[in-house]
C-alpha cells in the first residue's frame, strides 16, 4: 500500500488529484500484496435466481423474465454484454436458482434450488441452502482466480430481488422498510405500497435475527444475494478485488462484512444506485462510489462501467511520468 501511494505521489501531478481512482489502485495493491497492479483479465459474475415474493405483486413483470435474461446473458445479447465488450470483460452468468430453468448455453449451472419461497409466508430457503449458496459464491471466486482473473465485477438477475434486498437492508440497518424500499424496475405508487407491505409482512412472519446475516439471508433474502455474499467473502479469502455493483450487490456485500469484517478489504464501490438505500448501504460499508449516474439497471452494468475508469487510472500509474523526468520540483503536502 505504501509503495503504491509513493508511486502515485512521484507522478507529475498534484498530490491525490485522481481522487478515488488513486485510492482504488492503492487498495488493490494492499489486497494483493503487489504494487505492480495490473487488471488485464477481468470477469463479471452475474448470479441469476428467482424469488417467490413476486406472487405478492411487487414487480411489473413475472418470473419468466429472469430465465429470458439469463439466456440472453449466455448468448451475449443482454444489455451488460454490450457494455462488457467495451470494457474487455468476460460475462459469466450463473444459474443459482432460476425457476424451472432447464439450463442454457453459456450459463453456469450452480443451482441450489428452483427459486425461493414467498417470504411473506415462510423463509425464502433453509439455512443449509443459504450456506450452500454462500459457499458456491466463494467457489466461483476461487475458480476465477485459478483461471487468471485480476479483478471481478458483480451482477445479478432475478425478478423481485429489489424486494428481498430491501428486506435484508431493513433488518441489517435497523430501518423501517419504507425508508429503504424503492420502485425497482419501475413500480407505480400502488405497486410500491404493495412492495413495502410485503416486506413488512416478511419481517414480521420470519423474525430474522439482525445479528446473524445467514439467518437474515435465508429468511428474507434470495439465492442471488447469498451467492454474492460468498463472492465478496471469496474476494478477501483469495485476495481478488471485487467491484460492488448497485443496491442489490451492496446489500450482499454488507452481509459479507457482517459475517467477516475482513471481507471489506476486497471491495470497490463502482457506483451509487438510484434506489433509496443505495447510498445508505455504501455508507454503512465505508465505501465511496466511483460513479454517480443514477444507474438502476442491474446485471452488473455499473460495475462494468467502472472498469474503463480503472484502466485510465492505471495508464497514469504505470506511465513513469514523474516529477524528476519533467524537471519539476515535486509537490509536497501542505498544512
Catalytic residue check, 299: yes
Q: What would the grid cell of residue 104 be?
A: 442454457
* Maximum pairwise Cα distance, the chain: 70
DSSP for 263-302, written as a single string: GGGGEEE-B--SSTTHHHHHHHHT---SB-S-----TTHH
Q: What is the C-alpha separation between 225 and 218, in angstroms, rounded?
A: 10
- The vertex-12 CA angle with 6 and 17, nearest 5°, equals 75
Catalytic residue, from 23, 275, 299, 329: name it: 299
Query: What does the DSSP 8-state code read for residue 184?
Result: T
How many Å apart are CA 251 and CA 173, to the nearest integer?
A: 10
Backbone φ and ψ of 271, nearest 5°: -155, 170
Tell me if 181 sits within 8 A of 195, measured CB to CB. Answer: yes
Coil/strand/helix, residue 321: coil
Distances (CA, A) of 161 to 23, 69, 131, 248: 31, 14, 19, 7
Residue ranges of alpha helices (H) inside the chain are 2-10, 19-32, 64-75, 79-86, 127-146, 161-173, 177-180, 189-206, 213-220, 223-237, 247-259, 278-285, 301-317, 323-326
Count of alpha carbons within 13 angstroms of residue 96, beta-carbon side: 37
Q: Active-site residue numbers? A: 299
Amino acid at each position: 500500500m505504501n509503495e503504491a501511494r509513493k508511486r502515485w505521489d512521484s507522478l507529475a501531478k498534484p498530490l491525490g488529484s485522481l481522487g478515488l481512482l488513486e485510492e482504488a489502485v492503492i487498495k488493490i495493491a494492499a489486497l494483493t500484496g503487489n504494487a505492480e497492479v495490473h487488471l488485464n483479465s477481468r470477469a463479471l459474475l452475474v448470479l441469476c435466481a428467482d424469488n417467490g415474493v413476486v406472487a405478492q405483486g411487487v414487480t411489473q413483470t413475472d418470473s419468466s423474465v429472469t430465465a429470458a435474461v439469463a439466456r440472453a446473458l449466455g448468448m451475449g445479447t443482454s444489455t451488460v454484454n454490450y457494455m462488457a465488450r467495451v470494457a474487455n470483460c468476460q460475462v459469466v452468468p450463473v444459474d443459482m436458482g432460476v425457476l424451472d430453468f432447464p439450463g442454457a448455453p453459456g450459463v453456469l449451472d450452480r443451482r441450489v434450488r428452483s427459486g425461493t419461497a414467498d417470504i411473506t409466508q415462510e423463509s425464502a430457503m433453509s439455512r443449509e441452502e443459504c450456506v450452500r449458496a454462500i459457499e458456491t459464491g466463494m467457489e466461483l471466486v476461487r475458480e476465477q482466480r485459478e483461471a487468471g482473473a485480476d479483478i471481478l465485477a458483480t451482477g445479478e438477475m432475478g425478478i423481485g430481488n429489489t424486494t428481498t434486498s430491501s428486506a435484508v437492508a431493513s433488518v441489517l440497518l435497523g430501518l423501517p422498510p419504507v425508508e429503504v424500499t424503492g420502485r425497482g424496475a419501475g413500480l407505480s405508487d400502488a405497486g410500491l405500497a404493495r412492495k413495502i407491505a410485503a416486506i413488512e409482512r416478511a419481517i414480521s412472519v420470519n423474525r430474522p435475527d439482525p445479528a446473524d446475516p445467514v439467518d437474515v439471508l435465508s429468511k428474507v433474502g434470495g439465492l442471488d444475494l447469498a451467492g454474492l455474499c460468498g463472492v465478496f467473502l471469496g474476494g478477501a479469502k483469495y485476495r481478488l478485488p471485487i467491484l460492488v455493483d448497485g443496491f442489490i450487490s451492496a446489500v450482499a456485500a454488507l452481509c459479507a462484512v457482517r459475517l467477516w469484517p475482513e471481507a471489506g478489504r476486497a471491495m470497490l464501490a463502482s457506483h451509487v444506485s438510484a434506489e433509496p438505500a443505495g447510498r445508505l448501504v455504501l455508507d454503512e460499508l465505508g465505501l465511496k462510489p466511483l460513479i454517480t449516474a443514477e444507474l438502476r439497471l442491474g446485471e452488473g452494468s455499473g460495475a462494468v462501467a467502472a472498469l474503463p475508469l480503472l484502466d485510465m487510472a492505471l495508464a497514469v500509474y504505470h506511465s513513469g511520468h514523474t516529477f524528476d523526468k519533467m524537471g519539476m520540483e515535486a509537490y509536497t503536502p501542505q498544512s
